[in-house]
Amino acid sequence: MPTDFAWLGLDRNANNAIGFIEVETDTGLIGYGVTNLADPNVIAQIINGVAGPAIVGMDALTTERVWHELYWTLTNAAQTGYATTAISAIDVALWDVKGQALGLPVWKLIGGARQKVEAYATIGVPKLGRDELVETGKRLTAMGFKALKIQVGRPGLDHRSGQKPLIEIIREDVRRIAALRAGVGPDIEIGIDAQCRLDLAHAIELVRRSEVHAVAFFEEPVLQNDPMLMADMRRRCAIPLYAGQNEGLAFRFRDLLVNQSVDLIQPSPNAAGGFTQCIRIAGLASSFNIPINGSGCIYHAMHLQAGVANGTTLEYQTNSATSYKMLFDNRPEPQDGWITLPDAPGLGVKPNLDAVKEFTQDYSKGGGEPPASNGAGRADRGRRRRHEESPGKMRV
């Protein structure tokens, strides 16, 4: 999906790769899901070739059972990555079906803790100069956002060939944070996000140099969200640490919680196994009295944040949100920094199928056979027949 930033006063454009998933039932209801940060070519092959055939005929309302089937089909040796992304998209679509079938929005099915969720704006525009960053921050706060998040540590450990030393990168990060603070004033929260691109020493140094500018939180500061390194950093730094927006399985969040590595975790319905898994993760966090916040597709993540009691804020990622505006109709948009959840059944947003058709690349031509790994052998015909013969009022 193409995206531009004219609405932020920037002459910039980019593209977002999104996997778009439909789950259709024998009653005619269709649920929709999307992927987050994953190659749609791979996801299409996994879902069409392996995951989809494994669940055809199953009761669409038995989301726990379907999740279990998908997990053991795609991750039978405990792999995550693309497999968990595919599970996430299918599970979100099934909750959309469930909400439509029961006549309730997903956030109420989850628990209905609140109907309004505060959003913070992530300035995810590629390679903004310092002045552009400040101008973008001013525009977003004028729209009503009370909190902003910016990217730091780029390029970091993801790209070590011919780049500047990390210390020079974080020096520039500090200058950017200082400029943004001066531009938006003292009452706007500013968070930073390294997306796991720094080592411990430079992450701590960035905190030390920027704390005078009242940074509100540091998201995914160190390589691999390493729980031991995060715990060490948390003991040595006063700034709250967040992590988890692209983690795939519950045990990763468990390790962050048990090691006292974080002040908040970030399970995403589009990456951490859909709503079915994220509800479990939110419950796990609540037993540690740790809150969660939302990322991924904003129109999916909002249901989790509104549904559970320890939900808090919602990330309005300016890059991806621009693409999702083209992909979905009937969207609730932030008003004074808050999003009011819809009362419409299911996810409450309808896909713009014309846009889907316009921007879809057909991977079925010349793409080769679906991958045979990750448990593909379990999707056998005999098991599919058993699902088709099983009872259930609504089947995939």
Higher pLDDT, 192 or 7: 192
Query: Of the candidates 310, 304, 259, which has an alpha carbon nearest to the alpha carbon of residue 284?
Result: 310
CATH, range 107-351? 3.20.20.120
Kindly tell me the sign of the dihedral angle through the C-alpha atoms of 384, 388, 390, 392: positive
Contact between 30 and 367 under an 8 Å Cβ cutoff? The reply is: no
pLDDT per position as a tens digit, 195-226: 999 999 999 999 999 999 999 999 999 999 99
Provide the strand spans (E) within 16-161: 20-24, 30-34, 116-122, 147-151
Q: Residue 53, preceding bond cis, omega within 30 degrees?
A: no
User: pTM value?
Assistant: 0.88
- Over residues 78-97, mean pLDDT: 88
Q: How confident is the model at residue 16 (pLDDT cuts 50, 70, 90)?
A: confident
15-103+353-389 matches 107-351 in fold: no
Read off the pLDDT of residues 364-393 as tens digits, 9 standing for 90 and up: 443 444 333 333 333 343 334 334 444 445
Domain boundaries along the sequence of the chain: 15-103+353-389, 107-351
| Range from 23-37, 39-53, 157-171, 200-214 carrying the lowest mean pLDDT | 157-171
- What residues have CB less than 8 Å from 251, skipping those under 6 apart? none
User: CATH 3.30.390.10: does it fit domain 15-103+353-389?
Assistant: yes
pLDDT of residue 374: 35
Which has the minimum average pLDDT: 20-29, 73-82, 244-253, 317-326?
73-82
Judge whether residue 236 has pLDDT over 80.
yes
Mean pLDDT of the 97-116 span: 97
Task: State how beta strands 30-34 and 20-24 pair.
Answer: antiparallel
Are 117 and 339 in contact by the 8 Å Cβ rule? The answer is yes
User: pLDDT tens digit string along 137-187?
Assistant: 999 999 999 999 999 998 888 776 657 889 999 999 999 999 999 999 999
Decide if pLDDT at 361 tops 80: no
